[in-house]
């Protein structure tokens, strides 16, 4: 006998990377050496000081108990100081910051806290698939807005204003953008805040990439005047501090919004492991030299990512930020998914097809920089052979 699944899952499929990684593991188990250029999981370690802080705190037997849902005050103060140093914004550590067990968790918490069934949510096309899947899980209705290459992957405000926005309650945005690598722009942020005020929409900005391959000062949506009235911002140490598996993030915003999210979150988890909080406090103290070394390594890897894309006759913008590289496939490629699968099967190199981020990504692919230079060189050699008809 099989108990029927909940109806909320009817329109939600398994996360693409979940099924793809299972396929890749099966290929590896059969003896194939797969080079994975698809997943954005940092392969470099956190700072030594961060790891040592975790170890030392873990040795204290008093630190293994349940913790506050809001995190210890020292953690929130550390986040607040980091936000001020990084973005030049003032966020009250007591009332305007809520630590999360990863910002992906925050996407669900925010959606559960603010969306009723049949509320509408504005989600970019293309964008991170979790915005859509979580919206479906809470029975909200998705309304997509277009990001296009000819507009530098920025929102088209004329197009937005022509939409029926009467039922829209929440809007997701993400700059520096994933998957496209498009830069954040303070003027666009100002327009977005004005748009949110005009239509009474809660703007939710996902901001984990601002320290990765960004040659300018990082910016926060909350730096816009009065943004706290209509905005929440998620951030994370997964990408910027090489701590993806540690599951550390937070949401910042107006006290009333934070309290609403906490009302939901406090019924779901039992707080963050205290040694992880202590390690996070230390990680937030990483100096510019540590961040520059990480970016220098990604810059070297980006060279080989571009060489691979050139070998595949793809076109791309040099002006990209973040830990991925986004490119358009040649015009003669009709089915990008089949193209990527052909590469995987014949060269044992996995590259992410852009269709998983939305229909506007159908003619694009994405390479992750989370792979060593040695493996990138090997991937490039394999792709060259693939183009010559020489297969693994």
- Give the mean pLDDT per block of 10 residues along the chain (392 residues): 85 76 89 93 97 98 95 98 98 98 95 97 97 96 97 97 97 97 95 98 97 94 98 97 97 98 94 97 98 97 97 95 97 94 94 95 97 97 90 71
In a domain, 321, yes or no: yes
Do 126 and 213 fall within a single domain?
A: yes
Residue 302 sits in a domain of what CATH number?
3.90.1150.10
Do 154 and 25 fall within a single domain?
A: no
Strand ranges, E, within the chain: 35-36, 97-100, 120-125, 141-146, 168-173, 202-206, 231-236, 249-253, 324-328, 349-350, 352-353, 364-368
CA gap 110, 226 in Å, rounded: 20
In a domain, 77, yes or no: yes
CA gap 228, 258 in Å, rounded: 11
Do 14 and 98 fall within a single domain?
A: no
Do 238 and 253 fall within a single domain?
A: yes
The pLDDT of residue 184 is 85
Do 31 and 85 fall within a single domain?
A: no
In a domain, 92, yes or no: yes
CA gap 326, 329 in Å, rounded: 10
Do 275 and 302 fall within a single domain?
A: no
Q: Which domain holds residue 353?
A: 7-45+288-387
Last residue of a domain, one of 283, 310, 335: 283
β-bridge mates for residue 124, sequence order: 145
Do 124 and 254 fall within a single domain?
A: yes
Do 183 and 268 fall within a single domain?
A: yes
- Global pTM reads 0.95
Last residue of a domain, one of 283, 314, 337: 283
In a domain, 60, yes or no: no
In a domain, 313, yes or no: yes
Residue 131 sits in a domain of what CATH number?
3.40.640.10
In a domain, 79, yes or no: yes
Do 183 and 255 fall within a single domain?
A: yes
The pLDDT of residue 18 is 78
In a domain, 1, yes or no: no
> Could you tell me if residue 162 is left (phi over 0), alpha (psi between -120 and 50 degrees) or otherwise beta?
alpha
The reply to whether omega before 179 is within 30° of 0 (cis) is: yes
Do 187 and 242 fall within a single domain?
A: yes
Last residue of a domain, one of 262, 283, 304: 283
Helix (H, G, I), strand (E, B) or coil at 372: coil
Instruction: Please report the DSSP string for 18-64 in residue order.
Output: HHHHHHHHHHHHTT---EE-S-----S---HHHHHHHHHHHT-GGGG
Residues 6 or more apart whose CB falls under 8 angstroms from that of 21 comprise 39
Do 25 and 130 fall within a single domain?
A: no
In a domain, 56, yes or no: no
Do 278 and 317 fall within a single domain?
A: no
The pLDDT of residue 119 is 97
Q: For the chain, what is the domain count?
A: 2
């Amino acid at each position: 006998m099989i108990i029927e699944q909940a109806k909320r899952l009817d329109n939600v499929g398994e996360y693409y990377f979940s099924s793809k990684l299972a396929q890749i593991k099966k290929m590896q188990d059969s003896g194939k050496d797969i080079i994975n250029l698809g997943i954005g999981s940092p392969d470099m370690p956190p700072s030594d000081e961060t790891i040592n802080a975790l170890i030392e705190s873990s040795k204290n037997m008093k630190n293994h108990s349940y913790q506050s849902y809001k995190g210890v005050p020292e953690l929130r103060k550390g986040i607040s100081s980091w936000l001020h140093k990084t973005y030049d914004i003032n966020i009250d550590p007591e009332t305007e910051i809520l630590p999360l067990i990863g910002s992906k968790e925050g996407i669900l918490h925010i959606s559960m806290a603010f969306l009723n069934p049949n509320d509408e949510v504005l989600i970019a096309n293309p964008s991170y698939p979790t915005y859509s899947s979580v919206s479906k899980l809470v029975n909200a209705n998705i309304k997509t807005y277009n990001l296009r290459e000819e507009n530098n992957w920025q929102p088209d405000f004329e197009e937005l204003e022509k939409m029926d926005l009467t039922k829209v309650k929440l809007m997701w945005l993400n700059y520096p953008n994933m998957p496209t690598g498009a830069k954040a722009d303070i003027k666009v942020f100002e327009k977005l805040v004005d748009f949110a005020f005009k239509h009474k929409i809660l703007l939710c900005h996902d901001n984990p990439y601002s320290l990765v391959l960004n040659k300018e000062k990082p910016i926060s949506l909350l730096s816009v005047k009065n943004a706290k009235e209509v905005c929440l911002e998620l951030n994370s140490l997964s990408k910027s501090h090489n701590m993806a598996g540690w599951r550390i993030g937070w949401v910042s915003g107006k006290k009333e919004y934070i309290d609403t999210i906490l009302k939901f979150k406090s019924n779901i988890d039992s707080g963050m492991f205290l040694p992880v909080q202590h390690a996070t406090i230390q990680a937030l103290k990483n100096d510019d030299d540590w961040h520059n070394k990480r970016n220098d390594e990604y810059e070297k890897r980006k060279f080989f990512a571009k060489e691979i894309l050139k070998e595949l006759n793809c076109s791309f913008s040099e002006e990209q930020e973040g830990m991925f590289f986004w490119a358009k496939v040649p015009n003669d490629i009709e089915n990008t998914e089949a193209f990527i699968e052909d590469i995987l099967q014949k060269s044992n190199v996995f590259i992410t097809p852009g269709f998983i981020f939305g229909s506007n990504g159908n003619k694009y692919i994405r390479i992750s920089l989370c792979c060593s230079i040695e493996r990138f060189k090997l991937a490039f050699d394999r792709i060259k052979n693939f183009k010559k008809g020489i297969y693994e």
